[in-house]
Amino acid sequence: MNAVAQDRRMGASLLRLHFHDCFGCDASVLLDDDPKTNFTGEKSAFPNVNSLRGFEVIDEIKRKLESKCPGIVSCADILAVAARDSVDVLRRRTQFETLFPLRTTWNVELGRRDSTTASLSDANRDLPPPFFDLQTLIDFFSRIGFTAQEMVVLSGGHTVGKARCTTFRSRIYNESNIDQSFAKKLKNICPSSVPTGDNNLAPLDDSSSSDYSTFDFFDNSYFKNLVRQRGLLHSDQQLFNFSGAQTNSLVLLYSIDQYKFLNDFGEAMVKMGRLSPLTIPDGVIRLNCRRRN
């Protein structure tokens, strides 16, 4: 994917688009508001506004597909494939893999159709915010059929990408389970006074030590950082704490076994892609991902 090769953060953005679409996996997240028809999409939902990006990349993929095979490939399937391919581009290869390539991405199940509507209220309700505590996260994912293990491994998607100051300000100024040098650095990015610096960005996976991978590679360094109390979001660090979080063992496992993480992440992504998709005879193939036909 040229867009990801040129801007590695775009890979995280495309993965995030699929995440935010997939409590339905119907490309509803791509629809623009249309004041002429009083249609309100999901882009202004709290978890999405000033957060989602990459729409123009999906537009370009759709344009090329429509020129070759019009009316065949749904926007929902484009999102699913773009997420998988982004992970593949961003994944760090070991020296062993340069000689013996290993497949650690997943097969994308296709056949989704696109929605003709969207729900701002559903988007606000169905996407977990960054201030959830551990039990709330477990309960949230359980309601949609995911185990605590699957919740932890999907959280590993935060090994790439960035977050706005507004999502981590409370953590760095009010929480004790945070590495102090890490917090000090973040305070330079995110001042305590609202709204100063609200839109300033920090990597979700801060890997400042040479012992750890950088934030724009898809690897297991997210979990290594949780063990070091360097989770950026409150909901991230909830997965591991020294008082004995029930997910500690999973975080430790993934922090030492990258291939286990990559394999389990792929399996969880396939399962996520099955969350209430539209299939024939429901839905449509949108000709423009931003607009209803």
- DSSP string computed for 15-73: HHHHHHHTTTTSSGGGPPPBGGGTB--STTSTTTTTT---HHHHHHHHHHHHHHSTTTS
Which residues lie across from 113 on neighbouring strands? 278
pLDDT number for residue 61: 97
Closest CA to 21 of 235, 218, 290, 272: 272
166 known member of a binding site: no
pLDDT number for residue 103: 56
Closest CA to 89 of 32, 14, 165, 162: 14
26 known member of a binding site: yes
CATH of the domain at 254: 1.10.420.10
Residue 50 has pLDDT above 90, yes or no: no
Say what the pTM is: 0.91
Residue-number span of the structural domain to which 243 is assigned: 158-268
Closest CA to 28 of 98, 102, 99, 120: 120
Closest CA to 72 of 80, 64, 84: 64
20 is catalytic: yes
Query: What gap in Å lies between CA 230 and CA 158, rounded to an integer?
Result: 12
159 known member of a binding site: yes
| Burial bucket for residue 39 (CB in 10 Å: 0-12, 13-18, 19+) | middle
What is the per-residue pLDDT across 205-233, written as a single tens digit (0 to 9) for each? 986 544 444 668 899 999 999 999 999 99
Would you say residue 233 lies in a domain? yes
24 known member of a binding site: yes
What total of structural domains would you count in the chain? 1
pLDDT number for residue 213: 47
Under 8 Å CB-to-CB from 143, ≥6 apart: which residues? none
Which is catalytic among the residues 9, 20, 91, 169?
20
What is the per-residue pLDDT across 60-75, written as a single tens digit (0 to 9) for each? 999 999 999 999 999 9
Would you say residue 168 lies in a domain? yes
What is the per-residue pLDDT across 82-109, written as a single tens digit (0 to 9) for each? 999 999 999 865 554 555 555 557 999 9
66 known member of a binding site: no
Residue 30 has pLDDT above 60, yes or no: yes
234 known member of a binding site: no
Would you say residue 192 lies in a domain? yes
pLDDT number for residue 22: 85
Which residues lie across from 278 on neighbouring strands? 113
Closest CA to 33 of 293, 291, 284: 291
Would you say residue 207 lies in a domain? yes
Asked if residues 155 and 251 have their Cβ atoms less than 8 Å apart, the reply is no
Closest CA to 157 of 227, 236, 103, 80: 236
Would you say residue 164 lies in a domain? yes
167 known member of a binding site: no
